[in-house]
Structure 1
Amino acid sequence: MKTQAVHQELDRARAAGPLRQIQIPPCPELLRRLRAAMALPQPDLNEVGRIAAADVAMSATLLRVANSPLHLVAGNVPCTTVGQAMYRLGLDESAALMQAFLVRHAIPVNSPHLLRFWQRSTKRAVAMGFIAGQLPGMRVDLAQSYGLFCHVGMPVLLQSVRGYGATMVEAAARIDRPFIATENANHRTDHAVVGALVIKVWHLAPELMTAIRLHHDFDALRDEGVDPETRTLIAAGLIAEHLMRRHEGLDEDADWAGNRHAALAWLHLSEDELEQWDEALRPLLDEA
């Protein structure tokens, strides 16, 4: 399934299918401005600084992270301004933190069915950014966005579709079929499709839209018809989820057990290298 096919699928489902009832929150204006500033050949540092200072809570987030033990090394004095925080964190990490803050507040989650949703999404974004840093040619910003938005269809479905909370409970309990199979049986759509719709409506990267649409379709890892960048995002996402579960002391899930070899093979990654990643990533996940 290529990007154009995903566009067409979403358009059809939006026009006369199960996505008609889905309410997509608007993309925050500050996020639009941030994306525009970061997309320039030379990112507009002054504009990014103005965006960071435009929201007091977002400024506080940057200061908190910049002054955390991970960044406040011996001899450094605490940052007291947003500019100092951004200088210490670097432009890319600052932009990633700002994006996570803006998305989290645009799509609030207040449900017992999605406890720690944005906390885990932020951790996944951190893990994806780390993995992208280990893989030549993989865009860190795209990887971080994939981690953040991967399951964004869930809170959107929860807000739009009656009975979706009960579906989540059922899907998590069943061992006879995948999570998205229960979603489709009950609602004729799933969080992968709705997540891709969020990316489309917000005009984010088309590669991101396709990867999120296919993030539970692991046959894509073996399908030469799927764009390589999409396959890399799916494979890295599977590894990121596995490393997060290890960090949290959870058992391997069925997705990892059934597709680990395909993911490692696509990324040309050995088991020994994966162990090294696990060790190096743990302090970052602790901080996230």
Structure 2
Amino acid sequence: MYGKLLNMSYYIGFIPVYWLVDAILHKKRKKSHHYLQALAINFLLFSSFLIFLICFGIHTFIIYFHRNLALTIPIELSFYIWGCLLLICLIIWLEGIVSAIIGRAPRISLFSSLTRTRFLTVITALHHLFVILIIIVAIHSSSIAQTEVEEAEIFLLYDDMGYIPRWVFTLGFYCDSIVAVNRWGDHSVAIVPLNKNTIDYALEKGRFIFVSSHGVNGYILLQDNIFYGPEDIENSISTRLQYVYLSGCDTGLKQEEWENALSPAYVKTFDRLSTTLEHFYWLIIKGPKVIDSLN
């Protein structure tokens, strides 16, 4: 029974723990079939992430430089590819777990000379550290951002497209949230779904608004594919509003109208297809400086 539990533990992330224990006790662990299989699965996960990044980079390049071609490619293509790779990893992982439970070697064997190298050990360690770091930051980013718009100074309004979890947006907005909380205290950041009520409230009360959504012909798309343009702004604009970032593609086709409607705030738009990568770069590098400079 102990052997089965030990083999199962390899698949659920305990290998780095055993490394630490073995290092403390100056002990060399026997590398069983399941130990090597778990290492190989970690390498598969790492490889699938690299493939995703490559596909995402190529897709970003196409969006930026080849508009007509980009319009023929599904926006989520890179994620579809990654999802298929993760599904393969999941099947192999489940087969390994079942094999460990019934006490036999995995039938979908991934053993190779690579599984016995220090390189794979390092990759596995980095993979676990990365996952732990993401979990910690995701939890903290969600905890410092309000789920309601009241009292907030800084707003991230997002279209989750029906399947993207909120923590993805809080994670992307983390650096900006930290700066805002340091400037204006707790409850100063609201990260909420994009709809007419939330955007109207943000325009009426906020200092900074980041709208994460698709765009069409100068309009932004709210949840449920509702178009929202400068002419739809009904409430008065906050006198404190200083910066509005509209991430949607082609929102710049109504640049002048947006500027007139949101004056005197600075309005950043795009008169082309915009990419997730450039928005992420802005949030990490430029966004914190912009927020810190607000009055």
**TM-score greater than 0.5 by the shorter chain:** no
Q: Larger strand proportion, structure 1 or 2?
A: 2
**Larger radius of gyration, structure 1 or 2?**
2
Does 1 or 2 have the higher relative contact order (CA < 8 Å, sep 6+)? 1
Using structure 1 for the length normalisation, give the TM-score.
0.24
Q: Larger helix proportion, structure 1 or 2?
A: 1
